[in-house]
Amino acid sequence: MQVNWLDHVNVITDKLDETAEFYKALLNLERRNAPPPLTPENAQWMYDAGGKAIVHINSVDCPRAFDRHVEPGALTGAVHHVALNCSGYDELMQRVDALGTPFQRNTVDAIGLRQIFVSDPNNVLLELNFFGD
């Protein structure tokens, strides 16, 4: 048994359209309707360039196989952040500036890493990692 990669992140929100548009505008992810029985009104999935649905966005009333209490916009409990391996640092900074999104930068010179930290409309912290970019 082995873990191959992070499959997806699920965000529960009361701001479905705003959240989907944020991921589209900032990270250039493609917005698509989630598969049935989910509906366009309760679930949008955000796809990377390889065709993988890496961010699942669900409304608060969306049916879930494993239901638990969540509070949109509240801290995410034990999950501190979601880290994504990215490329195109300069382009992303242009998008951050254009959106007026608050951010924080960090560098880890020892491993050639530049990072940008931003929060989505639901207060989910994103760590965007750029190695050698």
pLDDT tens, position by position, 42-79 = 999 999 999 999 999 999 899 887 677 777 777 665 56
Q: Select the more confidently predicted residue: 87 or 125.
A: 87
Range of the domain at 86: 2-131
Domain count, the chain: 1
Residue 103 contacts by C-beta under 8 Å, 6 or more apart in sequence? 96, 116, 117, 118
Residue 20's pLDDT is 97
Average pLDDT over residues 79-83: 76
Q: What is the largest CA-CA distance in the chain?
A: 47
Give yes or no for residue 3 having a pLDDT over 70. Answer: no
For the entire predicted model, the pTM comes to: 0.82
Q: State the CATH number of the domain containing residue 65.
A: 3.10.180.10
